[in-house]
Every structure is written in C-alpha cells, then in structure tokens.
Amino acid sequence: MARKLEDLTRLNLEYLTVLKKAERRDGRTFWSCECICGTIKDIAAPHLKSGATKSCGCLKQKMLKDGATIHGGDGTPEYASYTAMLHRCYNKTRVGYSNYGGRGISVCSRWVESFTNFFEDMGERPVGTSIDRIDNDLGYFKENCRWSFRDIQSHNRRKSVKALSEYFGVSYDKRYSKWSARITFQGKTQFLGSFHSEKEAALAYDKRCMILYGDVKNFKARTCDE
C-alpha cells in the first residue's frame, strides 16, 4: 500500500508559501511555491522540509549583492560580522557552511531584511569580539546572540563528536582508570581533578564553569553543588 502523500501546504516557512503539488520529476515530489519576492518556483519536497531551500534564490542574491555594495555600515566591524553570518548560513560554497546552514542554522527574517535592523539589535562590536550564539543549536536572532571574546566562544562551542565522554570537559584516563575534568580559560587549561565516575567529573567541570563563565554546560537544569 502506497504511503499517503504529506500535505506541505500546511508547512510554516519564513520566505516561501507552498501553493500546491507540482509535477513529479526524477522520482521526487515537487511543490509549487511563491517566494516572498513574488516569484513562483517548483521546489523538491525534501528541500522544503529540511529547510535547505529558503527562497527562490533571491535571498542568496541579495546577500551576495549586499556584501559587495555600500549598505549603511559597509567597511565597519559590525558589517563584516553581518555578511559573514549570512554567508555561513546561506552560501553553500562557503567554508564551514556544513556547521551552520548545513545543519539548519538560519538568520531571523528581521536581520536578513537589513543590516540596519541587525545593528539596532546588536549595537557596536567591541574590539576583540565577534558574534556568538548563546545556544549553538539555535539560529541567529537578538535574544540568542551577543558580542563575545574568544574565551566565551570557545566555552560555548559544541562538544566534539570524537569526545570520549558524553560530557563537556571530561575525558577518561586509562592509566589510572579514572575520569578527568579540565577547563580552558584565557588560553590556559586548568586540571580540575580525577574522579571515580564520569558524572562526578562533569559536575566538577560545571562548578568551575559557573565561576569562570557564569553558566554550566553539562547539567543545565541542576545546580553545581549537587
């Protein structure tokens, strides 16, 4: 029995409105969509559902044009961060795209609309900082972004997929059959001790993390004194 076709006209998209099912091509289902710019374009269902296609193509063209022309703050540190942010999320040829747009990270429509809106929300960029997302699993919008120094951004990064522990700052020491906790601050790594359990090491990391950075990484809903 054939699987029932999902109705994508109910899909909530920022820049595209799904109008109706279009002709099937190369074994894939396409949907006729109207872009925010008024263009009608057929887009493959997987691209719509994954968010890989966000517009008819005008969004990328606007982004590239903005990066090459005067746009209010052109030439300023704030504008450099703004264009780099857009490229990371929408330019598939950009190095690092897989870590941003490639995994669903996007820029809010208010900021895509203009650099002026971005500057109003973020303000001037302090020397030595760059834009940082507070929650790395969410996109770029006012409540989730800040100007941060390298230490904060390093602390805020996603845990490596190669990590031997499920927790941040924790590793297993085979020589002593114990779990170790380490944290980096101002370019220097601090050894926090060896522990019998992985969880103990993670709690030690969080306790020091709260002192140095003002938040925790491993047990968000708990206190570090547990």
Looking at mean pLDDT, say which of 12-26, 55-69, 148-162, 207-221 comes out highest. 12-26
The token pair at 128 is: 């030595």
Structural domain of 40: 10-50
Q: Same domain for 152 and 64?
A: yes
Tens of pLDDT, residues 180-193: 988 887 667 889 89
Q: Same domain for 64 and 151?
A: yes
Beta bridge pairs of residue 191: 182
**What is the side-by-side order of every strand in the sheet holding 16-21?**
16-21, 30-35, 40-44
For the cut 50, the answer to whether the pLDDT of residue 68 exceeds it is no
Query: pLDDT class for 94, splitting at 50, 70, 90?
Result: confident
| Stretch among 20-24, 91-95, 179-183 having the lowest mean pLDDT | 91-95
| pTM beyond cutoff 0.75 | no
Q: Same domain for 166 and 93?
A: no
Q: Same domain for 182 and 105?
A: no
Residue 1 lies in a domain: no
pLDDT at 2: 52
- Smallest Cα–Cα separation from 115: which of 106, 126, 103, 123? 123
For the cut 60, the answer to whether the pLDDT of residue 222 exceeds it is no
For the cut 60, the answer to whether the pLDDT of residue 208 exceeds it is yes
For the cut 90, the answer to whether the pLDDT of residue 73 exceeds it is no
CB–CB of 9/32 below 8 Å? no
Average pLDDT over residues 107-124: 89
Phi and psi at residue 172, to the nearest 5°: -100, 130
Number of domains in the chain: 3
Tens of pLDDT, residues 37-67: 778 888 888 878 777 777 777 766 665 555 4
Average pLDDT over residues 197-209: 88
- Smallest Cα–Cα separation from 43: which of 127, 76, 52? 52
Percentage of residues in the chain with pLDDT exceeding 70? 77
Q: Same domain for 131 and 200?
A: no
For the cut 50, the answer to whether the pLDDT of residue 225 exceeds it is no
Residue 2 lies in a domain: no
- Smallest Cα–Cα separation from 58: which of 39, 71, 42? 39
Q: Residue 195 is inside which H or E element, if any?
A: strand 188-195
**For the domain that residue 211 is a member of, what is the CATH number?**
3.30.730.10
Alpha carbon distance 32, 215 (integer Å): 46
The residues, ordered by sequence, that sit 6+ positions from 35 with a Cβ below 8 Å of its Cβ are: 15, 16, 41, 55, 56, 58
Q: Same domain for 168 and 219?
A: yes
Percentage of residues in the chain with pLDDT exceeding 90? 6
For 186-213, give one letter per residue: b (16+ CB within 10 A) or e.
eeeeeebeebeebbbbbbbbbbbbeeee
**Count of beta carbons in the 10 Å neighbourhood of residue 45:** 19
For the cut 90, the answer to whether the pLDDT of residue 140 exceeds it is yes
To 5 degrees, how large is the angle CA 186–CA 173–CA 187? 10
Asked which of 156, 184, 208 is the last residue of a domain, the reply is 156
Average pLDDT over residues 80-93: 85
